[in-house]
Amino acid sequence: MILKYLIQKELLQLRRDSFLPKMIVVYPIVIMLVMPWVMNLEVQNVSIDVVDNDHSTTSRRMVQSVESSHYFVFNGMRSSYAEALTDVERGKADIVMVIPPRYERDKVNGRQPEVLIAANAVNGTKGGIGSAYLAAIVQQNATAWQNAHPASSSAMGMPAPIKPITPVSTLHLYNPYLDYKVFMIPALMGVLMIMLCGFLPALNIVNEKEKGTIEQINVTPVSKGTFILAKLIPYWLIGMVVITACFIIAWLVYGITAQGNLLLVYAVSILLAFIFSGIGLVISNYSDTLQQSMFVMWFILVCSMLLSGLFTPVSSMPDWAQTLTLLNPVRHFIDGIRTVFVRGGNLHSIAPQLLLLAVYAAVMNVWAVISYRKNS
C-alpha cells in the first residue's frame, strides 16, 4: 500500500514538471525519426571531379559510367589535376579521377595506361570506400573494353576473354536490401531505454536532494527498497510504453518489423532498463549536485555506446577493446535485440545475453539499495 502511494506521488510530480513530460515525448520521436537517417555509415554522394586528358570514346564512356553511379555526385570536368585538387582543398570534391593522355591509343597498342584516383582521406572510411567504388568502375570499363577488343588484349599479353562457366548468386540474409536502418533501429531503442530509465531517475533524485524534498521521505519508516522501487517503477513503465511506440514507428515509417518474438525484445529491453536505472541510482547516491551526476552519466553513456558495437562492429576493434566490450551490458543488449528483431532468433539463441543482463541488473540494483544513505 505504501509503495502504491509513493508511485502515485512520483507520477504526480512527473506530470507537474514542465520539462520532463515534453522530453519523454519528443526524445523518442527525434531518436526514431531523425537518427536513422543521419547516423548512416553507408558511403554515398561522394563528390568527384574528372580530368579527361584523352577525350576519346573510351574515356568518355568511363566518365559516363561514373556519372550514372548512384554512389557519386559528378561535379563536372576539370581542365587539369591542379584545378581539381583545388576543389578537394576547398571541400568541393572528395575524389579526383585523372584519365591520362592517349589512354585509348595505348590500350589499342597493347599497353596498360594507368588511371589516377586521388581521394581525400581525411575521412578514411569515405575516402577508402569511395576510391574502391571508383576503382571497380574503372575495372569494369577495362574488362568491357577487353571483351570488345580481343585482338588488342592478346597484344597486351592477356588471355582471350572467356565467359564465366560458374555463375554466382548472392543472397543477402536478414537484410535483403542492405538497409543500414535495419542495423541501427534496434540499437537506438537501447539508447532510449538508457536515457529514460537511467538518466531521468538519477537526475530526479539528485534534484530532490538539492531541493531538500527527499528528506521528507528519509525521516519516514519507509524502507530503502520500497523508496527506490517507487522511484524506478514509473520510469520502467514509461520505458515500456516508449519501446512499444518505437515498434509502431519502425513499422509505419520504415516498414521494419520484428522477425522474432516481441516478448523477447521486451525482455532484453526491460533488463537493460533495470541495469541503467540501477547505475543511475548508484551515481545519484554518490552525487551531491546535478552537474556531478550528469557528467558521470554522460561519460558512462558515451563509453557504453562506443564499446557496444552500435557504430563499429566489435570484430573490427583492437583485441583489448574487444575484451572490454565483454564487460559492457549494452553490447550484450545489442547482440540480443538484433538477434531477435533482425534475425528472428528464439529464446535459446539469446539465453547467454539474457543471463548476463540479469546478472548485471541484480548487481547494480543491489548496489543501489546498499549505497543509498537514508536518515533514520
Q: Is residue 173 predicted with pLDDT exceeding 50?
A: yes
Q: What whole-number distance in Å separates Cα of residue 181 and Cα of residue 301?
A: 21
Confidence (pLDDT) at 151: 56
Q: According to DSSP H, which parts of 69-211 are helical? A: 81-89, 103-108, 124-148, 150-155, 180-194, 200-211
- Collapsing DSSP to helix, strand or coil, 326 comes out as coil
Confidence bin at 164 (pLDDT 50/70/90): very low
Confidence bin at 166 (pLDDT 50/70/90): very low
> Can you tell me the mean pLDDT for 79-104?
90
Instruction: Report the run of H or E that residue 119 belongs to, with start and end.
Output: strand 116-119
Instruction: Report the run of H or E that residue 116 belongs to, with start and end.
Output: strand 116-119
> Can you tell me the mean pLDDT for 230-252?
88
Q: Is residue 333 predicted with pLDDT exceeding 90?
A: yes
Name the least confident of 40-44, 63-67, 114-118, 344-348: 40-44
Task: Annotate 94-109 with DSSP letters as a single string.
Answer: SEEEEEPTTHHHHHHT
Torsion of CA 282, 283, 285, 286, to 10 degrees: 120
Q: Measured between alpha carbons, how far is residue 312 from residues 41, 43, 195, 318, 322 in Å?
A: 10, 15, 21, 11, 11
Confidence (pLDDT) at 376: 46
Q: Is residue 158 predicted with pLDDT exceeding 70?
A: no
Q: Is residue 257 predicted with pLDDT exceeding 70?
A: yes
For 284-308, the pLDDT digits (tens) are 888 888 888 888 888 998 888 888 8
Q: What whole-number distance in Å separates Cα of residue 8 and Cα of residue 2?
A: 10
Confidence (pLDDT) at 352: 92
Q: Is residue 355 predicted with pLDDT exceeding 80?
A: yes
275 or 151, greater pLDDT: 275
Confidence (pLDDT) at 211: 75
Q: What whole-number distance in Å separates Cα of residue 56 and Cα of residue 105?
A: 9
**According to the CATH classification, is domain 46-155 in 3.40.50.12780?**
no
Region(s) of the chain under CATH 3.40.1710.10: 46-155
Q: What whole-number distance in Å separates Cα of residue 347 and Cα of residue 354?
A: 9
Confidence bin at 218 (pLDDT 50/70/90): low
Name the least confident of 215-224, 305-314, 335-344: 215-224
Query: What proportion of the chain, given as a percentage, has pLDDT over 90?
Result: 21
Could you give phi then psi for residue 229, rounded to 5 degrees?
-60, -40
Q: Is residue 282 predicted with pLDDT exceeding 70?
A: yes
> Can you tell me the mean pLDDT for 35-52?
81
Confidence bin at 272 (pLDDT 50/70/90): very high
**What pTM, to 2 d.p., does this model score?**
0.75
Residue 115 grid coordinates:
588511371
Taking all residues of the chain, what is their mean pLDDT, rounded to a whole number?
A: 83
Q: What whole-number distance in Å separates Cα of residue 313 and Cα of residue 322?
A: 10
Q: Is residue 339 predicted with pLDDT exceeding 60?
A: yes
